[in-house]
Structure 1
Amino acid sequence: MHPIKALTAIPLLTLAACDPAKGGDAAPPRATDTAPTPSQVTLIAVPIDASIAPLKLELERAIPKTLWTINKREKACVPPQRVKLFGRKVKVTPAIPCTIVGRVTRGALRLRGEGNEIVVDVPLNATVAARDVGGVLKGETATGSALAHARIRVDMASDWRLRGKARITYGWTNPPGIDFLGKRITFTDEADAKLKPVIAGVEREANREIGKINLKSQAADIWRQAFTSLELNEENPPVWMRVTPQRILYGGYRLDGTRLRLNLGIEGITETFVSGRPDDPMPTPLPKLVHEAPRPHLDVRVPVIADYAQLQPVVDRALAKRSLRPFVLPKLGAMDVTFGPSTIYGAPGGRIAIGADVEARLQARTGEPTRGRIWMTAIPANGPGSAQVRFTDLTINGDTDGVGGDLLVLLGRSEGFAPLIADALTQNFTRDLDELEGKIRRAVDRRREGAFVIRTRVDDFETGEIKAYGNGLYLPVRLTGAASVDYRPTR
C-alpha cells in the first residue's frame, strides 16, 4: 500500500514492540500522547415552520358571518331642500323621514403574508334599504362592499410563546347608498359605527389565536435531537461530526404562504472524529430563546492521521534500493550495507523515531560484519496551508555488537543516510487531501440524518500544521462554510 493511503484509510494500528540489538538502550522512548479531537463553535441554521392555517379556521369560527343589522327610523333621510329667494334661504321641501333596515355580512377570510406581517383579508358586503321614504318611496335597496385588513405582527418571547399584535384597517370599495330626488343618500356613517366594535373583536381574536400556536414542543424536540452525530463521510475515511448544542438564537420570521418560518440557529460545539460513529452527547433541557440574529457558519476540523505503520514500507523500499551500492565513509572507505525491517513510531517532543536494522562490512576489512540498529529522530514540518511535509532537526544514534561500536553511528551520520530517510518520509499529501475534500463535499452537500435534512456548503478547505503524536502524524484540516438543517420528521 502506498504510504499516503493513510489519508484515505487511516487505520490506527498498534505497532508491536521491537527490541533493538543488544538490549536497545539507544532506542528513543515512545510517545504516549494522542492526536487531539478537534472542537469548534459552529452555528447551524435550523428554521422552524409553523402553519398559520389553524389561525384562519379559528377566526372563521370566531367571527360571525353576519356582523351587524340595523332597523332604525330616521326623521330626515333627506334633509329639507332650500332655495335662496330675495337674499334669504327659504325651505321649499320638508325633511323626509324613512326607516333604514339592513345588514353587513362577511365573506370567506383570506390569509396571506406581506413582509413580516400576517394579513387577514375580510371581505364585507352591506345591504341597506330605505323603507317608507316620506310615504312616497316604498323601498329602495343600496348595496356596498368593503375590504377589511387585519395586519398582525408576531413576536416570540424568551419562553417560546408567540404574541401577536393586530391592527385592522378597512375601506369602502363601493359605499352603500341610493339616489332619491336627485340626491345621493349614503349609509357609510351608520355602517362605520356598527363596524368599529366588530373590528375590535377581530383584533382580539387574532391576538388570542396567535398565542395558541405552540412552538415550544416542536423546538424542544429539535433541540433534543440536535444532540447527535452527523456523518460527513461514509468511508475512506469515515468522518463524523458530533454536535453538542449550547444556545438557540432567534432572528425574526418570514411568511411563505400559510407557513410562518422562524429564523432560528443552534449554536454548539462540534467535534470531528475519523472513526466509527461516536456516542451522542447527553441532551439538556430546552434553554431560553436568545434574541440575536443567527449568522450560520460551519467550522469543522477534520483530523487527518497518518499511521506510522503506513510509513514503514516507504523507508524499507528506499533503504533496499540504496543498499544496491556501497556507502563511502570518510577515511574508512566503501561499506556494503544490508538493511532489515525498519521500526517507526512517535517519540516525545513531537518527533518521529525511525529505527533500521543494519548489517555492514567495510570492503577493506575481513571478518564478521558489524550488526546493530541505527536510530534517527526528526520533527515533521510543513508550510502554512501546505500539504508538502518535510522532516527537520534530524538526530542519529546507534547500538552495535561490533568492536567498532561507532561504525554505524558514522554510517547514520554520513551524507548518504539521513537525507535518504528524510526524502523517503517526505510526503506530498495534496492529492490525498484533494480526494478527501471531494468526498466530504459530496457527502455533506445534502443528506438526511433521522428527522433532519442537512444542507452544507463548504467554502474553504485548508490545512494546518502537521505534528507527530504517539498514535500517528496529525495534519489538521479545516472546513469552513455554512450549514442548515430542516426538521422533517417522517410520519
Structure 2
Amino acid sequence: MHAIKPLAAALLLIALLSGCDPAKGGAKAPPHATDMAPTPSQTSLIAVPIDADIAPLRQQLERAVPRTLWTIDRREKACVPPQRVKVFGRKVKVTPAIPCTIVGRVTRGALRLRGEGKEIVVDVPLNATIAARDVGGVLKGETATGSALAHARIRIDLASDWRMQGKARISYGWTKPPGIDFLGKRITFTDQADAKLAPVIRDVEREVNREIARINIHAQAADIWRQSFTAIELNRENPPVWMRVTPQRTLYGGFRLDRLRLNLNLGIEGVTETFVSGRPDDPEPTPLPRLVRETPQPHLDIRVPVIADYAVLQPVIDRALAKRATRPFMLPKLGPMMVKFGPSTVYGAPGGRIAVGTEVEARLEARTGEPTRGTIWMTALPVNEPGSATVRFTALDINGDTNGVGGDMLILIGRSEGFAPLIAEALTQNFARDLDELEGKIKRAVDQRREGAFVIRTRIDGFEIGEIKAYGNGLYLPVRMTGGASVAYRPAR
C-alpha cells in the first residue's frame, strides 16, 4: 500500500503536466504538415551581348555603289576667261574667252569601313580624270587628275521592333583638286566635279541606309530569346541543383563599335527559379517582345533551397537515444528507470515545427512485471541566427501515447533532463560545411560552359543564408546567391 501511494501521486502529477487524460492513454501523435517548401523565384537580368559583323555591309555597298560615279563630255564657252589689261585707266580685252571641250570621269576606289564612336564610317576614295580638249584650237588636249576622299558617317540605331536604322551623311574634300596649267593660269575642275558629285552623294547615302536596314538583328535576338527559356545546371549531384529561366522582357542600352563588329548592349530580364531535383521542364517560349530602351544592369539573383530530408535525421536521433539507454533515467519519487528506445519517427508538423516520436519500453529497477510500452512525442521549432548555418531547436513540447495509466510515466521520461535536451542536441545540425561545399560546387559548375550555339558565363559574388523553417517535405534553409550572368551567341564555325 505504501508503495502505491507515491506512484499514484506521481502519475497524477504527470497527467497534470502532460495536459492529457491518463484514462485515455495520453495524447495522439502530432498531425503531419502538408505544406511543401517553396520553389524559390527571383527576378534576374542576364546580359545578352549580340555581336553583328558589319563587314558584309562593305560587300553590299561595293555591289550597290557603282565604280564610275559620273562622266562628263561638255563644250564650255569659256574655259579660259578673256584676258584684259589696263590702258590709260581703262581695261582693254587683249584675248577673247577661250572655249574648250571638257571630258572626263570620276571613279571610286575600294570602300573602307571603320567604327568611330557611335558611328560607322565608310571611306570612299575618289579619283578624277578630266581633260580639256581643243582649247581655242591651240591646246589639243591635256589631262588633269585629282583625288578626293569622301566619308560616309552613318549614325545607326535599333528600333523597338528590332530593325536596324541608319542615317548617313557624306562629306568629302579634294586632297588634290583636278586642274591643268594653261597660258600661265591654273584651270581647275572642282566646280564641275562638285556639281556632278552632289546627286551621287545622295545615292550613296540612300544605299547605305538601305543596306544598314538589312542587318538582321531580329533573327539572332529571337534565337537567343527562344533558347533562354531553359534550365541551367548549378550543381550536378549531392544535391542536384537547377536554375530555370523564364524571360520576361529585353532591355537595350545602346551599342559600341569594335572595328568591324557592332556590339549591342542587351539584357534579358526574367524569373529565375531554383530546383533541388532532376532537371525541371523548360518553360514554354513566348514570341520575342518589343525592345525596351533601358540600360541593362546585369545581375543574377537566385535562391538555392538547402532541404534536409527528415529521413536523414532519424539515424542521428536513434544513435543518440541508443547511447543514452545504457544508463538509467532518474525519475523524481519513482527512482531509476531503465529505458529501451525503438526506431524513431521524424516529420514536419504544423506551425513550422518538427515532430519526433520514439517507441519506448520502460521498467523501474525496483519493480517486476510487464514493462510500460508506448511512444513519446516531441515537437520543436528549428531556429538559426541571421546569416548562420547553425540550427537549434527550441520551444520543446513533450507528449505521450502509452498503453495504460501506468505508462504515463513515459511522459515524465520525455520531460526529464536526459531526453528532450538530448534529442534537441542531436537534431542541431550545422549546415555550414555542406553550404561551403555547395557554394564551391556551384561556382565551379556555372563558371563557363557551352550549350549548343551559346556560351553561358556565370559568376557568384554573394552568398547569404536565410531563416530555416520546417515544412512537410523537410527542413528548408534558404540560401541567396548573387552575381552576374551572360549568354553569348557563338555558333560553331
Query: TM-score, normalised on structure 2?
Result: 0.89
The corresponding residue for 2:15 is: none
SS in 1 for 2:379: strand
Question: Equivalents in 1 of 2:86, 2:425: separation in Å?
Answer: 118
Deviation at 1:474, TM superposition (A): 0.7
Q: Counterpart of 1:64 in 2: which secondary structure?
A: coil
SS in 2 for 1:405: helix
**What residue in structure 2 maps to residue 393 of structure 1?**
395
Distance in 2 separating the partners of 1:395 and 1:482: 45
Contact 1:457 1:482 in 2 (8 A): yes
- Higher-Rg member (1/2): 2
Which amino acid in 1 is paired with 2:211? E
Contact 2:108 2:124 in 1 (8 A): yes
- The count of residues paired between Structure 1 and Structure 2 equals 470
Counterpart-to-counterpart distance in 1, 2:437 and 2:145:
74
- The Cα offsets for residues 129-187 of structure 1, whole Å up to 9 and x where unpaired, read as 23333444333322211111111122222222222111111111222223334433322
- Counterpart of 2:421 (choices 419, 427, 431) is 419
Q: Please, which of 77, 86, 95 is the counterpart of residue 75 of structure 1?
A: 77
Q: 3-state DSSP class of the match of 1:373?
A: strand
Q: Decide which of 334, 337, 361 is 2:336's aligned counterpart.
A: 334
In terms of mean alpha carbon deviation, does 448-457 or 424-433 score higher?
A: 448-457
Give the corresponding residue for 2:270. Answer: 268
CA distance in 2, matches of 1:390, 1:88: 117
1:467 maps onto 2:469 in alignment: yes
Aligned to 1:404: 406
Q: What's the CA shift for 1:92?
A: 5.1
The answer to whether the Cα contact below 8 Å between 2:25 and 2:404 also exists between their aligned partners in 1 is no
Aligned to 1:445: 447
Residue 83 to residue 388, structure 1, CA distance change in 2 (3 Å): farther
Letter in 2 for 1:32: T
RMSD across aligned positions (CA): 2.2
| 1:254 equivalent in structure 2 | 256
Q: Which amino acid aligns with 2:180?
A: I
The whole-number CA distance in structure 1 between the counterparts of 2:258 and 2:394 is 60
Check the 8 A contact 2:373/2:407 in 1, yes or no.
no
- Note the 1:147-158 alignment, pairs <5 A: 147-158=149-160
CA apart distance, 1:413: 1.2
* Mapped contact 2:457–2:485 kept (Cα < 8 A): yes
Note if 1:165 corresponds to 2:144. Answer: no
Q: Which residue of 1 aligns with 2:246?
A: 244
Unaligned stretches of 5+ residues in structure 1:
1-21
CA contact (8 A) 2:43 2:301 kept: yes
Work out whether residues 394 and 418 of structure 1, in 8 Å CA contact, stay in contact via their aligned partners in 2. Answer: yes
> Judging changes above 3 Å, is the alpha-carbon distance between structure 1 residues 354 and 70 closer, same or farther for their aligned structure 2 residues?
same
How far off its partner does 1:230 sit?
A: 1.7
CA distance in 2, matches of 1:408, 1:94: 136
The letter of the residue matching 2:173 is: G
Q: Match of 1:149, as an amino acid?
A: H
* SS class of match (1:423): helix
Per-residue CA distance 1:330-386 (angstroms, 9 max, x = gap): 333333322222111111111000112222233344443332221110011111121
Tell me which residue corresponds to 1:231: 233
- Separation in 2, partners of 1:392, 1:61: 80
Larger deviation: 177-186 or 106-115? 177-186
The 3-state SS of whatever aligns with 1:320 is helix
Distance, in Å, in 1 between the alignment partners of 2:86 and 2:411 is 134
Alignment match, 2:10: none
SS of 1:406's partner is helix
Q: By how many angstroms is 1:88 displaced? A: 5.3
Pairing partner for 1:370 from 369, 372, 390 = 372
Q: Which amino acid aligns with 2:280?
A: P
CA shift, 1:220, in A, is 2.6
- Local SS of the residue matching 2:289: coil
Question: Quick one: distance in 1 between partners of 2:232 and 2:53?
Answer: 28
Identity %: 82
* Contact in 1 for aligned 2:36/2:473 (Cα 8 Å): yes
AA matched with 1:415: E
Partner of 1:132: 134
**More divergent stretch after superposition (116-125 vs 399-408):** 399-408
Report the Cα offset of residue 86 of structure 1: 5.8
Q: How far off its partner does 1:229 sit?
A: 1.6
Q: d(CA) in 1 for partners of 2:201 and 2:383?
A: 75
Tell me what 2:59 maps to. Answer: 57
How far apart in 2 are the matches of 1:175 and 1:430? Answer: 79
Report the 3-state secondary structure (helix = DSSP H, G, I; strand = E; otherwise coil) of the residue aligned with 1:205.
Answer: helix
Kept in 1: contact 2:132–2:142 (CA 8 A):
yes
How far is 1:90 from its partner?
5.3
- The match for 2:456 is 454
How far off its partner does 1:31 sit?
0.9
- C-alpha distance in structure 1 between counterparts of 2:273 and 2:107, whole Å: 61
**358-367 or 345-354, which moves further after superposition?**
358-367
Matches within 5 A, 1:86-97: 93-97=95-99
Distance in 1 of aligned mates of 2:40 and 2:337: 48
SS at match of 2:320: helix
- Identify the match of residue 118 of structure 2 among 107, 116, 124: 116
Distance 1:312 1:145 in 2: 90
Q: Secondary structure at the match of 2:36?
A: coil
Mean alpha-carbon deviation: is it higher for 172-181 or for 198-207? 172-181
Q: Partner amino acid for 2:389?
A: A
How far off is 1:218 after superposition? 3.0
> Is the 2:447–2:459 contact (alpha carbons within 8 Å) kept by the matching residues of 1?
yes
Q: Displacement, 1:395?
A: 0.5
- Tell me which residue corresponds to 1:41: 43
Deviation for aligned residue 1:94: 4.6
Tell me the distance in 1 between the aligned counterparts of 2:477 and 2:456.
27
Asked if 1 retains the 8 angstrom alpha-carbon contact of 2:25 and 2:403, the reply is: no
Task: Say whether the 8 Å CA contact 1:230–1:449 is kept in structure 2.
Answer: no
Deviation at 1:208, TM superposition (A): 1.4
Q: Aligned letter for 1:111?
A: L
